Amino acid sequence: MASAEQPTVLVVEDEPAQREVVGYNLSAEGFRVVLAENGEEALVMVDEETPDIIVLDWMLPSVSGIEVCRRLKTRPDTRGIPIIMLSARSEEVDRIRGLETGADDYVVKPYSVLELMARVRAQLRRVRPAAAGQQLVFDDILLDAESHRVFRDEQPLKLGPTEFRLLATFMEKPGRVWSREQLLDRVWGRDIYVDTRTVDVHIGRLRKALCQHGGSDPVRTVRGAGYSLG
Ligand code: CA
C-alpha cells in the first residue's frame, strides 16, 4: 500500500510504452503513480481522487489533452492541480496555446526523462512543499519535512507520526478547511478503512503536542466542516 505522504501523479498518455516509461520514472522518484489511457478516463479518475499533479499528453484520442486541461482549469475544485502538458508540437504558437488553456508547464517530445522529473518536482514544491521535503513555517511553528522535526517558538516538539502528517497537511495550506474525509485520504491513505472519529482523536493529540510548552491552540474546529490551521 502506498504511504499517504506520497504525492500522487496522474499520467495521461495513450501510447503504452511512453505511459510506462513516465510511470516507472515517477515511481522511482517516490511518487504514487496513477495511469490513464485517454481523456475520459483521466476526467473520471480526477473525480474519484484528486491527484497532486497531472502529466498530460496533448494528443489523445477523442477528448484531447487540451480539452481535459481546459475542463479541469475551469472547475474551482480542480483548478489548482498543476498540469504539465506533453506535446510533439514544438511550434511557439502551440506552446502558447497550451499555456493559455491553463497548463502550468509544457514539455516538448522527445523530452529527456530527467527534464520531465525536474519539472514535476518544481510543481510539487509549489503545491506540496512538505512532501517535497521543505521547511514550512506558520506563526511560531516550524516544520522541517526532511528531518521530520517540529519546533514551536524554537523548542522541539514531540509528535507522533500521524500527528506529524496532520500538521504537515495543515501547514501546506494554512487557513484551508479540511473535512475529516479529506484528512483521512491525505493522512491515512484511501486504501485504509479508518473511522472518521479517529481523525478527532489525532487532532486532540496534535493540539496537545503543539501546546506542550505552552502557547495557544492553533487548530480551529469549523463546525459541520472540519478543521483548519489558523
Ligand atoms: Ca499521444
Is the pLDDT assigned to residue 20 strictly greater than 70?
Answer: yes
CA 52 to ligand 1 centroid distance, Å? 22
Share of the chain above pLDDT 90, in %: 69
Q: Is the dihedral of CA 125, 20, 40, 93 positive or negative?
A: positive
Least confident stretch, 5-19, 94-108, 134-148: 94-108
Cα of 72 vs centre of ligand 1, distance in Å, is 19
Q: By CB neighbour count within 10 A (0-12 exposed, 13-18 middle, 19+ buried), where does 122 fall?
A: middle
State the Cα–Cα distance between residues 116 and 227, nearest whole angstrom: 35
Across the chain, which distance is largest between two alpha carbons, in Å? 59
Whether residue 90 is predicted with pLDDT greater than 70 in this model: the reply is no
pLDDT of residue 145: 87
**Per-residue confidence at 2, pLDDT binned at 50, 70, 90?**
very low
Q: How far is the CA of 197 from the centre of ligand 1 (A)?
A: 44
Tell me the C-alpha distance between 106 and 6, whole Å: 24
Q: What is the CATH topology of the domain spanning 135-229?
A: Arc Repressor Mutant, subunit A (1.10.10)
Superfamily the domain 8-127 falls into: Response regulator (3.40.50.2300)
> Is 59's pLDDT higher than 60?
yes
Are residues 153 and 140 in contact, defined by beta-carbon separation less than 8 angstroms?
yes
For CATH 3.40.50.2300, the residue range(s) in the chain are 8-127
Mean pLDDT of 48-69: 93
Quickly tell me which residue has 474525509 as its cell.
Answer: 181
Bigger pLDDT: 37 vs 109: 37
State the average pLDDT over residues 16-28: 94
Per-residue model confidence (pLDDT) at position 196: 87
- Residue appearing with cell numbers 516509461: 21
Residue 182 has pLDDT above 60, yes or no: yes
Q: How far is the CA of 48 from the centre of ligand 1 (A)?
A: 23
Q: What is the location of CATH 1.10.10.10 in the chain?
A: 135-229
CA of 21 to the centre of ligand 1 (A): 14
Mean pLDDT for 153-163 is: 95
Q: 185 CA to middle of ligand 1, Å?
A: 31
> What pLDDT score does 62 carry?
86
pLDDT at residue 155 above 90?
yes
pTM, whole model, 2 decimals?
0.79
Crossing angle of helices 16-28 and 113-127, in 10° steps, is 60
Ligand 1: distance of its center to the CA of 180 in Å? Answer: 38
- What confidence score (pLDDT) does residue 49 get? 86
Banded model confidence at residue 109, pLDDT cuts 50, 70, 90: confident
Highest mean pLDDT pick, 79-93, 98-112, 160-174: 160-174
* C-alpha 14 to ligand 1 mean position (Å): 5
